[in-house]
Amino acid sequence: MDPSRVITFLCPAPDATSLRLCRAEAFTALGQHPQALEDLDAVCRAEPGQHEGFFRKGKVLLEMGQRAEALLVLEHCLTLNPNFHPARKEMEKILMQEDAPQASLCTVAARPGDTHQGSTGPQVDGGSPVLPSSAQAQEEEPTDGRGDAGSEHSQGTATLSQPGQEEEPEATAERQGQWLVDNEEETTGAKCTQPCWELLSVSDMECSLCIRMFFEPVTTPCGHTFCKECLERCLDHRPNCPLCKQSLREYLKAGNYNPTVLLQDIILATFPSELAERRDLHQAEMAELSNLTKNIPIFVCTMSFPGIACPLHVFEPRYRLMIRRCQETGTRRFGMCIYEHGKSFADYGCMLEIRQIELLADGRSLVDTIGRRRFRVLSRGHRDGYNTADIEYLEDRKVAGEELQELQCLHESTYRLAQQFCEHQDLASRHILMQHGPLPEKEEDIQASADGPTWCWWLISILPLDPSYQLNLFSTTSLRARLTQLQRILATLLQQPPEHSPWGRV
């Protein structure tokens, strides 16, 4: 006989939960998971205070590959019976898997008193059979009076224990207390079958660092959840969990802050409008950080020049944050200025573009940048510990006609001098040339770039010039003045025999 016909024959009476459990077992063995779930949903509705139905439902969901939903149901099972070890074991198994949904419920608190009426059943990963069934239960069994009953009880935190962690007896008592409320209601006919994730309030989704709703939540190995950005900022300073102080050195080393998908799903399902607001806020912040003339981040370190590479070693927390933001906003740019006494940084600087970042295990990074445009500082400011500035970009004055012809002649003769200078150098300077590469080629149109020919900047960057003199050459917007100065310096250096070091300050 066809086994499914046997099962149909065994159709139980609506209240025969033990028969339904058996039939669900049989459906599961036959691989007919949706039918098994239907029976288990009925069992959970009929006996919302019993853990057995939820445990089996979790197992079926697991077999169906719906691990996030399975985790939720198993967590609820543990809420009903914290000493039910099989559920704990199953959860541990899920969480130990490499691509496990993160243990996000660690920070999720269940509040029996929070208003939840009218909440449409949240969908986890779309189309999960977990939540629609509870929504259905809501329709069938009104939950009047829950708000009043719950408000007398303190908040109970639904803790998903990590492997090897024991639960606080007090928390258990509190949790049991929470569900006693539901059981009391059963006696008055107002049965509540709502699982704990429907009892969440927005404040349960708050990051303890920024006191705002989690944005891109990540969960540390110690089980604490923060916005990714908030945690990264803490780790810039110290490789420890900001809450429990446990070392996160290995976590930082892995550099893999996977979002806590389950929590993201719960937030999306439970507080969609608040999440949209949070996202808008984040986007507004990103837009503000993306502005490349107002409040641009300033790295105060060294002279840099248009078209010339500038490798950086980033280790200060404020600059780690700055570089990360440049990446996140997508601008990949920041200003570079030298320090100037009394001003915190010089009036002129160069925009640098990040080409590559090598992140080191301890959070430091080697950042390969290249100079883009020169700018003048209009006003100075600060953001989260680093300098910022409003700027305007510099542009060489363009000339035409006879003046242009003269400029081209000057350009030719200076380039020839630069070539001579490169040939003239001793071993020490050859070492410098090896680091900076060879003299760049001449450009066809010497006025094409707002900053003039790149080879001039290459020369200025390798010549033994005082930074204040370099800055002088840097800030002029006359190519003619720049070339004239370079010619004078080169002529002086070329007069010295190669065996006498030409690297004295000019």
CA dihedral 203, 204, 208, 210 (to 10 degrees): -40
Q: Which is nearer to Zn ion, 161 or 304 (CB)?
A: 161
Q: How far apart are CA 109 and CA 458, in angstroms?
A: 60
Q: Which is nearer to Zn ion, 244 or 428 (CB)?
A: 244
Window 160-199: contact mask with Zn ion (x via CB under 5 A) = ----------------------------------------
Query: Angle at Cα 420 formed by Cα 415 and Cα 421, nearest 5°?
Result: 95
| CB of residue 233 to Zn ion, shortest distance in Å | 9
Q: How far apart are CA 7 and CA 129, in angstroms?
A: 21
Q: In the 8-state DSSP scheme, what is residue 314?
A: E
Window 58-97: contact mask with Zn ion (x via CB under 5 A) = ----------------------------------------
| CB of residue 74 to Zn ion, shortest distance in Å | 23
| CB of residue 220 to Zn ion, shortest distance in Å | 5
* Number of chain positions touching Zn ion (CB under 5 A): 10
E strands, 214-303, are 217-219, 225-227, 296-300
- Examine residue 268 and tell whether it contacts Zn ion (CB under 5 A): no
CA dihedral 321, 326, 327, 331 (to 10 degrees): 170
Bridging pattern class, strands 348-359 and 109-110: unpaired
Q: How far apart are CA 40 and CA 62, in angstroms?
A: 14
State how far Cα 64 lies from the chain centre.
31
**Using alpha carbons only, how large is the chain's radius of gyration in Å?**
34
- Examine residue 222 and tell whether it contacts Zn ion (CB under 5 A): yes
Q: Which is nearer to Zn ion, 244 or 284 (CB)?
A: 244
| Binding segment (CB under 5 A) for Zn ion, from list 198-206, 210-218, 295-303, 481-489 | 210-218
Burial class (CB in 10 A: 0-12, 13-18, 19+), 43: buried
- Examine residue 303 and tell whether it contacts Zn ion (CB under 5 A): no
Indicate the angle between helix axes 261-270 and 272-290, nearest 10 degrees: 110
Q: Which is nearer to Zn ion, 250 or 466 (CB)?
A: 250
Window 226-245: contact mask with Zn ion (x via CB under 5 A) = -x--x----------x-xx-
- Judged by phi (left if over 0) then psi (alpha if -120 to 50, else beta), residue 466 lies in beta
| CB of residue 162 to Zn ion, shortest distance in Å | 10
Window 343-382: contact mask with Zn ion (x via CB under 5 A) = ----------------------------------------
- Examine residue 494 and tell whether it contacts Zn ion (CB under 5 A): no
Q: Which of 77, 207, 269, 493 binds Zn ion (CB under 5 A)?
A: 207
Q: Which of 224, 228, 320, 482 binds Zn ion (CB under 5 A)?
A: 224
Which residues would be at the binding site for Zn ion (CB under 5 A)?
207, 209-210, 222, 224, 227, 230, 241, 243-244
